[in-house]
Structure 1
Amino acid sequence: MSFIISLGIGALRNSRGNLFKTSKVALQAFKPQRQTIRSVKTSTVDWKPIKSGTTDLAKKEHQVKHAKVRYFFLSLMIAMPVVSFILGCWQVQRLDWKSKLIARTENSLTLPPLEELPADLDPNVIPEYEYRKIKIRGHFDYEQEMFLGPRKRPDGELGYLVVCPFVRSNGGKPILVERGWISKEKIVPSTRSSGYLSHLALPKGEIEIVAMFRVMPPRSYLQYSHDEGSRLFFIPDVAAMAAQSGALPIYCQAVYDMSDHPEYRRNNEKLNASEKGGQGGSGWFFSKGKSTSTPAENMSSLHDDTDSTLEYLQSEFVNEGVPIGTVPKVGFKNNHLQYLVTWFALSFFSAGLLIYSLAKGRSSSADKVIAAKRTHMKKME
């Protein structure tokens, strides 16, 4: 009986304990919980990520892989100061040569003209007399008149240079004379033979001209060759001009002269009178058609045929087809001083860059790569 009573008391105690625990859990469920409030908001993005940079080891390995390229550029750096220094020394020699050439030609322009040329003039000696003025007597062979161009004047007007063989009075073969520039509208001789300046455009008979010797560069393989028999030349091919006209390969340029020549007018008047008298002309260049007085002839009669000081305007020469000669001045350009300064400066700076590169020790080797690997391993320990 006592045993039964003890079992009942134990069961009652267990039930009370379970009931107490259940009530305690229920009370905790109804108990208000404490909330945590953040006072500072932080971003979830990492604005400073870790970046992997190029290490010394990677640089050394890159240098070893590109050793050939590095040696190639090193060779260029070594060759540059040497080659530029040699070119600078060469420009010093060129400067001395060009200065002497300009001085010699300027001196030739100041000398009085040569008045007598030998009949058997040697073309090989002409380079020694370039830019030397000459005064020769004879007449132009208009049947062999040639044109060089086209050429533009400074104002943009298009025209051609007239080249005509000049038959010397003292004998010998003719020489080529560049008379000057004419507009493209005055190429046909008939447009130049009827104006009041026809005695200057197409002087007839024996006259005296002043010209200067010139040496023209030979035609290169890249330039157009001349069409045989054509009067038009694109470049001053002296050899082809001489062969076509039967003249010596000697090229002269008529000196710029805007003054009148009364003796030219008298010669033209005499020859024109003989042509009108029925003797006929010497070629199609001087054919004038009907013999009637023109306004140009009336204007020509107003000028005094003894006034040699009269000068005309360039516009008059252009309108009447009178060739405008060449101004006697040296046409050489001397830029060798700028060239030698450029080459020596390039040699100096390239030599400094080479010394700087060698002093910095940019050339790598296997030992440097191994040393860099050891240093890198020590940093990782």
Structure 2
Amino acid sequence: FFSVVDEPGTIVRAGHHRSTAGLLFLAIIPVTAFILGTWQVQRLGWKTDLMARLEDRLIRDPLPLPPRIDPSAVPEFDYRRVLATGRLRHDREMLIGPRMREGEQGYMVVTPLERPDGASTILVNRGWISKKMADQRARSPDALPQGMVTVEGLLREPWKKNMFTPDNKPEKGEFYFPDVHQMAEWSGSEPIWIEVTMEPDYLQFVDLQAQGIPIGRQAEVSLRNNHAQYIFTWYGLAAATSVMLYMLAKRPASASEAAKRVR
């Protein structure tokens, strides 16, 4: 019988080499995070300039809405304060919802404004009402003004539908998001959207809510600007993973790696 321990011993390293491919793969993480952080810096500059332009439009005097509007020009006047005169078509009213406000469920009231002298009919987002005021018969007469009225609001591009919002069902009178072209076609209007602005105090808010009078939005720029947080996150991840990669590449041989074994 001849055992392997009777053979001459060969001294070898145990696990001394490292995978170059593995290190290169790990290096992709800090590089990608740094690129994304730099991109967010550019996005922050773009968003800051955009908000400055929009806020500048808010402080200007209201502009009378021209008789005819090119829908493709609306983005150039987004958040511009305008005045529009006409007759509200309450018979074509659309409720978008549900929408929550102050912890209560309700709807956004969208009413076509039929302007005189052959001017275009536009869509006016009059504001929020509670769910119990969805039926027009439950509202006060002041909530359904008759005759010629003048509304002041912001010329806007409505928010987009997200993946969790169901599709509108105009044939059933169910609207979950403002599809301007769809709502304009259904109501016989132009795809022009105005949001009425209002800044009521608490007592006025309660009174308007009780009468079913739509409560308009505040005249402010409501754009999300989280790019500074993203910059901190991506650059922090790039720095942390860079340190970890350096420590891994320069790590001294451990006791198990330095030990020699007899094969």
TM-score by length of 2: 0.85
* 2:121 aligned to which of 150, 174, 185: 174
Matched-pair contact (CA < 8 Å) for 2:23–2:249: no
SS at match of 1:249: coil
Displacement of 1:161 after TM fit?
0.9
Displacement of 1:212 after TM fit?
0.6
Matched-pair contact (CA < 8 Å) for 2:13–2:261: no
Distance change in 2, residues 1:236/1:319 (3 Å): same
Matched-pair contact (CA < 8 Å) for 1:145–1:231: no
Separation in structure 2 between the aligned mates of residue 188 and residue 82 of structure 1, nearest angstrom: 58
Matched-pair contact (CA < 8 Å) for 1:149–1:234: yes
SS at match of 1:181: strand
TM-score by length of 1: 0.60
- What is the match of residue 60 of structure 1? 14
Separation in structure 2 between the aligned mates of residue 166 and residue 341 of structure 1, nearest angstrom: 46
Separation in structure 2 between the aligned mates of residue 60 and residue 87 of structure 1, nearest angstrom: 39
Separation in structure 1 between the aligned mates of residue 38 and residue 116 of structure 2, nearest angstrom: 50
Distance change in 2, residues 1:188/1:82 (3 Å): same
Matched-pair contact (CA < 8 Å) for 1:105–1:130: yes
- What is the match of residue 77 of structure 1? 26
Q: Percent identity, please.
A: 35
Q: How do residues 50-129 of structure 1 correspond to structure 2 at under 5 angstroms?
A: 60-61=14-15, 73-115=22-64, 117-129=65-77
Displacement of 1:110 after TM fit?
0.4
Displacement of 1:312 after TM fit?
6.6
- What is the match of residue 320 of structure 1? 211
Distance change in 2, residues 1:71/1:326 (3 Å): same
Displacement of 1:217 after TM fit?
3.5
Of Structure 1 and Structure 2, which has the larger fraction of its residues in strand?
A: 2
The runs of 4+ residues in structure 1 deviating greater than 6 Å are none
Structure 1 segments unaligned to the other structure (5+ residues): 1-56, 260-310, 364-368
SS at match of 1:357: helix
Distance change in 2, residues 1:362/1:111 (3 Å): farther
Distance change in 2, residues 1:326/1:360 (3 Å): same
Separation in structure 2 between the aligned mates of residue 182 and residue 81 of structure 1, nearest angstrom: 50
Displacement of 1:257 after TM fit?
5.5
Of structures 1 and 2, the larger Rg is shown by 1
* Higher RCO structure, 1 or 2 (CA under 8 Å, sep 6+): 2
Displacement of 1:333 after TM fit?
2.1
Displacement of 1:72 after TM fit?
6.2
Distance change in 2, residues 1:141/1:58 (3 Å): farther
Amino acid at match of 1:138: G
SS at match of 2:250: helix
Separation in structure 2 between the aligned mates of residue 59 and residue 144 of structure 1, nearest angstrom: 84
Distance change in 2, residues 1:348/1:258 (3 Å): closer
Structure 2 segments unaligned to the other structure (5+ residues): 1-10
Distance change in 2, residues 1:362/1:349 (3 Å): farther
Separation in structure 1 between the aligned mates of residue 118 and residue 89 of structure 2, nearest angstrom: 14
Displacement of 1:357 after TM fit?
1.7
Displacement of 1:105 after TM fit?
1.1
Displacement of 1:225 after TM fit?
1.4
SS at match of 2:41: helix
SS at match of 2:86: strand
- What is the match of residue 341 of structure 1? 232
Deviates more, 1:347-356 or 1:97-106: 347-356
Separation in structure 2 between the aligned mates of residue 180 and residue 324 of structure 1, nearest angstrom: 5
Amino acid at match of 2:41: V
Separation in structure 2 between the aligned mates of residue 184 and residue 71 of structure 1, nearest angstrom: 64
SS at match of 1:182: strand
* 1:209 aligned to which of 147, 151, 173: 151
* 1:253 aligned to which of 187, 195, 200: 195
Displacement of 1:239 after TM fit?
2.1
Amino acid at match of 1:360: R
Separation in structure 1 between the aligned mates of residue 233 and residue 44 of structure 2, nearest angstrom: 13
Matched-pair contact (CA < 8 Å) for 1:166–1:175: yes
SS at match of 1:313: helix
Displacement of 1:75 after TM fit?
3.4
Separation in structure 2 between the aligned mates of residue 220 and residue 178 of structure 1, nearest angstrom: 20
Of Structure 1 and Structure 2, which has the larger fraction of its residues in helix?
A: 1
* 2:93 aligned to which of 141, 145, 158: 145
- What is the match of residue 191 of structure 1? 138
SS at match of 2:239: helix
- What is the match of residue 167 of structure 2? 225
SS at match of 1:326: coil
Matched-pair contact (CA < 8 Å) for 2:114–2:120: yes
Distance change in 2, residues 1:121/1:352 (3 Å): same
How many residues are treated as equivalent by the alignment? 251
Displacement of 1:211 after TM fit?
1.0
Displacement of 1:206 after TM fit?
0.6
SS at match of 2:98: strand
